Amino acid sequence: MSSEQTLKKSYRLDANVELGKFTVVIQESTNFADGCAVPAAANAAGILGVAQNSIIPSGTADYSGGQYNIVSGTAWPANSIPAQGLGEEVQVIRLGISRCVAASAISRGDEVNVADNQGRIKTASETAGTLVHILGVAEDAASVAGDVIRVMVNPRDRHT
């Protein structure tokens, strides 16, 4: 029997957007000193870890048909309940094993980083001379975009 140890911390969503669970989040302090946000692009700096809860309007399903169907970073819909996502609490795994949403095929053992502005992950494959912002190492393989795999979260930077 195995026991997983994780380091978790709460942050506040620092943008008025939807956030799906298992999304990589980065540091953001525009509105809150303890803020987090969905990355704006691939290989984003300031990785905090992986969100463990969704911030979505009431009545919205974040999982159906075997897929997580929230597009993290999408603007908060008008006339929703609650009225905004800004300031909502996000539980984040900073260190340890977390599930993550893949943006493409990933092999077990690959170092992974942010793939896109939805906080999905990819195999870290930046060109030589690039500072790479690593999320961690894939514990499972992903076949296609949307697969949810386990990652040993250990954010760090390295040069290619």
pLDDT tens-digit readout, 61-111? 887 777 777 789 999 999 999 999 999 999 999 999 999 999 999 999 999
Strand residues in the chain grouped as ranges (E): 7-13, 24-27, 35-37, 47-51, 63-64, 67-68, 89-101, 111-114, 121-123, 131-138, 148-159
Q: What is the pTM of this model?
A: 0.93
